[in-house]
Amino acid sequence: MTHISGLTEAKDRVEVLRGEIRRHDHLYYVLNRPEISDREYDLLLKELEELEERFGLVSPESPTQRIGERPRDEFKKMEHMAPLLSLDSVLEEGGLRRFVERTAKFLGRTTAFVAEPKFDGLSVELVYEEGKFTRGGTRGDGLVGEDVTENLRTIRALPLVLGTAIPVPRLLSVRAEVVMPLEGFNRLNRQLLENGKEPFANPRNAAAGSLRQLDARITASRPLDLFCYDILWAEGGVPDLHREDFTRLEAWGLRTEPHRRVCPSLRELLDFHGEMARSRDELPYEVDGIVVKVDSKADQAALGVRTKSPRWAVAYKFEPRKEETVIQDIAVSVGRTGILTPVALLKPVDVGGVTISRATLHNLSEVRRKDVRVGDSVRVARAGDVIPEVMERIPVAGETRSEPFEMPVRCPVCGGEVVVRGAFHVCTNELSCPAQVKGAVKHFASRDAMDIRGLGEKTVEVLVERGYVKDVADLYALEKDQLLTLEGFADRSADKLLEAIRRSRQTTLTRFLYALGIPGVGVHVARVLAEAFGSLESIRKAGRSNLQSLREIGPEISEAVVDFFTNEKNRRVLEKLQRTGIRWDAGIPRARTGLEGKSFVFTGGLETLTRGEAKALVEALGGRAASSVSAQTDYVVAGENPGSKLERARELGVTVIGETEFKKLVGAP
Ligand code: IVH
């Protein structure tokens, strides 16, 4: 190691080292062409670390800063510079042909396409300012995602500083897909299993789970990779052709995937699809189809965007991967909601790089329909991010088969009575079936819910089995002595867990709602409810129609919400929870909208919004939607063929606005 004593000398050396390390990162992670050994690389990094430390030269873009320092409480929101659109998909050749025909018809001539792999990962936006990586976020709803800058910094394939082979725009936004290569995925799952943790179902979930870690050190330990495929926005403009996006991305040192092709017509697109489908098993990461995009950006603009997906691009997925294996046994698992699910325990089989040893059989009628029994040879499929599934039985000539499978009449976990509800068998022992209590508690403690760190699955299981925890509220009554009787708990770890449980009481309404485990209420729906109603009390009181006025809430969810709050047992647990001192911030702090308390009346048909959506917008901003016009009405929104309400508004001198003005007022796109 060089000997350095002066600051100027140190600065120079630090610059040299950073440049070298960046070059090697690029060679290794982006080009797959390393020039030095890992050991030599580590030595460079170590020298840089020491110098930065000694001379106070640390800066956020330094390669030494890849690992985030402290865990975050919750991700900040990040508004995207341009919408991260989603894609429509076609299922077969005919669908792709129609897509190609439609573009030609719309444009009045043919146009070329770029075909590229569809990565099975999660979409992110990367923002570079003055060539430096300054922030990055998940897709979220396409407009606003989660700020995962620190986590992204830990991905080696992501350059923190752009290369300058061509001029770098002052402000640049790039879309990329974060993926977990198959080898790393299988290794991670082995480790998780060894540590008694739940493995990830597929590389996509593993990538998402790893990137969305509050503690960036965990992300840093996960084998993530990424591919850039789109310039979303660049100061000074974007290239005229999509194919040139790639040339630029590469010139800036950003990682792209080499399989892509400019295709003048359907013929070439189909060839590309076929070739990729045949070669995908050789790829070290999961590709689940191809994406076809119109090459010319001018044509893209002419074709435009539907609500969320563009008319100029489409995904054409591959057939799900299938392999043959044998059903060794059929187990029955009991979920959080008491549903009994038959699960085929398989002779482990490699399906496109992922080892499958269990596959769902959904329910009894599925088992009957497919007529699968223990000992049968079957075909299993794994499609994108769904749970592996037993597709069909492969009859073998002369085989002797076992008896048909029967659902147990008693819950395999608690011995409680099993009843049939529709297609499902359900354990009726809601209150005390350990499987249901365990499931509910695990969910309650999980990261997006109450986020109780250190309360692992194993601990929950033992707590429930010992009878210390009979419902989620019991968590808050746990005592140190009880924890100390559990394996693996010592003085300090018990204190830590109790502290984490205590701290979880300060939460947000969204988290709390999600934690309750109401069927259909995932994080997103929980947020929608929290934002629209502002308090648990209002949600509890809201009837089905009120709930359904929100775009995200259909009849099933609204029924589940109402059922949940009318159920006597749930009410008791809720009261118990509130007695433990659970608190949440009063609604989501919102900037004042200026529409608080304003009343709106709609008349006539709106063109781009349903009545329900328009009302939900108003309510979400603190206003009210009324059904008749009075002198107290603030705005009447008149659409197509307005009725007598418009006349009444004119008589009373109430402000009348059109749809465009209304959308401007409420900030709708
Ligand atoms: S382009 C308008 N290109 O697929 C452009 N998406 O099903 C929309 N994806 O959310 C996206 N590989 O996460 C595009 N080469 C690729 C992609 C890709 C994977 C993902 C992306 C998107 C999802 C849509």
Q: Please name which of 623, 542, 536 lies closest in space to residue 586, comparing C-alpha atoms.
A: 536
Q: Find all residues with CB under 8 Å of 624, minimum gap 6, and list them.
A: 597, 598, 599, 600, 618
Report the pLDDT averaged over residues 444-467.
90
- Answer whether 393's CB lies under 8 Å from 377's CB: yes
Active site residue 118: yes
CA of 38 to the centre of ligand 1 (A): 33
Catalytic residue among 11, 46, 77, 118: 118
CB atoms within 10 A of CB 15: 11
pLDDT (0 to 100) of residue 593:
66
Report the pLDDT averaged over residues 168-188.
96
Confidence of residue 33 (pLDDT cuts 50, 70, 90): low
Q: Find all residues with CB under 8 Å of 150, minimum gap 6, and list them.
A: 68, 72, 216, 219
**Whole-number Å distance between alpha carbons of 421 and 413:** 19
How far from 312 is each of 44, 117, 267, CA to CA, in Å? 46, 16, 18
Q: Would you call 378 helix, strand, or coil by DSSP?
A: strand
Confidence of residue 539 (pLDDT cuts 50, 70, 90): very high
pLDDT (0 to 100) of residue 554:
86
Confidence of residue 453 (pLDDT cuts 50, 70, 90): confident
**Whole-number Å distance between alpha carbons of 512 and 581:** 13
Which atom of ligand 1 is nearest the CA belonging to 313? Answer: 2
Confidence of residue 406 (pLDDT cuts 50, 70, 90): very high
Which atom of ligand 1 is nearest the CA belonging to 84? Answer: 8
Q: Find all residues with CB under 8 Å of 566, minimum gap 6, and list them.
A: none
Q: Please name which of 269, 231, 226, 343 lies closest in space to residue 90, comparing C-alpha atoms.
A: 269
Confidence of residue 386 (pLDDT cuts 50, 70, 90): low
pLDDT (0 to 100) of residue 588:
45
pLDDT digits (tens, 9 = 90+) for 49-103: 889 988 888 887 888 876 533 334 468 889 999 999 989 888 889 999 999 999 9
- Answer whether 201's CB lies under 8 Å from 387's CB: yes
Q: In what order do the strands lie in the sheet with 122-129?
A: 132-138, 122-129, 171-179, 225-234
User: Considering the chain, what is the average pLDDT of its residues?
Assistant: 88
Look up residue 4 and give its two tokens.
């350095």
Which region among 320-334, 407-421, 502-516, 592-606 has the lowest average model confidence (pLDDT)? 592-606
pLDDT (0 to 100) of residue 648:
87
pLDDT (0 to 100) of residue 590:
44
**Whole-number Å distance between alpha carbons of 526 and 518:** 10
pLDDT (0 to 100) of residue 402:
94
Report the pLDDT averaged over residues 436-462.
90
Which residues does residue 491 pair with via DSSP β-bridges, in sequence order?
A: none
pLDDT (0 to 100) of residue 37:
73
Look up residue 358 and give its two tokens.
């269990």
pLDDT (0 to 100) of residue 98:
96
pLDDT (0 to 100) of residue 27:
76
**Whole-number Å distance between alpha carbons of 108 and 571:** 62
pLDDT (0 to 100) of residue 589:
41
How far from 455 is each of 32, 218, 227, 251, 497, CA to CA, in Å? 40, 17, 35, 47, 7
- Answer whether 652's CB lies under 8 Å from 662's CB: no
pLDDT (0 to 100) of residue 80:
92
**Whole-number Å distance between alpha carbons of 376 and 396:** 8
Residue nearest to atom 12 of ligand 1 (CA): 118
Between strands 113-119 and 261-263, the pairing is antiparallel
More reliable by pLDDT, 113 or 195:
113
More reliable by pLDDT, 512 or 627:
512
Amino acid occupying residue 183: E
Between strands 418-421 and 424-427, the pairing is antiparallel
Tell me: pLDDT of 592 over 60.
Answer: no
Chain centre to alpha carbon of residue 603:
38
Look up residue 442 and give its two tokens.
């695990």
Tell me: pLDDT of 385 over 60.
Answer: no
Amino acid occupying residue 591: A
pLDDT (0 to 100) of residue 71:
37
pTM, full prediction: 0.61
Confidence of residue 275 (pLDDT cuts 50, 70, 90): very high
Q: Which of 99, 114, 175, 177 for a ligand 1 pocket mutation test, highest count of atoms within 8 Å of Cβ?
A: 177
**Whole-number Å distance between alpha carbons of 516 and 573:** 10
Look up residue 58 and give its two tokens.
């640390």
Residue nearest to atom 6 of ligand 1 (CA): 118
CA of 632 to the centre of ligand 1 (A): 48
Q: Which of 80, 87, 290, 385 for a ligand 1 pocket mutation test, highest count of atoms within 8 Å of Cβ?
A: 87
The DSSP string of 457-514 is: HHHHHHHHHTTS-SSGGGGGG--HHHHHTSTT--HHHHHHHHHHHHHTTEE-HHHHHH
**Whole-number Å distance between alpha carbons of 250 and 176:** 13
pLDDT (0 to 100) of residue 268:
97
Amino acid occupying residue 450: M
Confidence of residue 214 (pLDDT cuts 50, 70, 90): confident
With vertex at residue 186, the alpha carbon angle to CA 280 and CA 456, rounded to the nearest 5 degrees, is: 140
Which region among 16-30, 261-275, 492-506 has the lowest average model confidence (pLDDT)? 16-30
Look up residue 388 and give its two tokens.
């592996």
**Whole-number Å distance between alpha carbons of 378 and 375:** 9
Q: How many CA atoms lie within 13 A of 270 on its CB side?
A: 13
pLDDT (0 to 100) of residue 586:
58
CA of 592 to the centre of ligand 1 (A): 35
pLDDT digits (tens, 9 = 90+) for 289-342: 999 999 999 999 999 988 778 999 999 999 888 899 999 999 999 988 889 999
Which atom of ligand 1 is nearest the CA belonging to 315? Answer: 7
Ligand 1 binding pocket (C-beta < 6 A) is 85-87, 116, 118-119, 123, 139, 177, 229, 291, 310, 313, 315
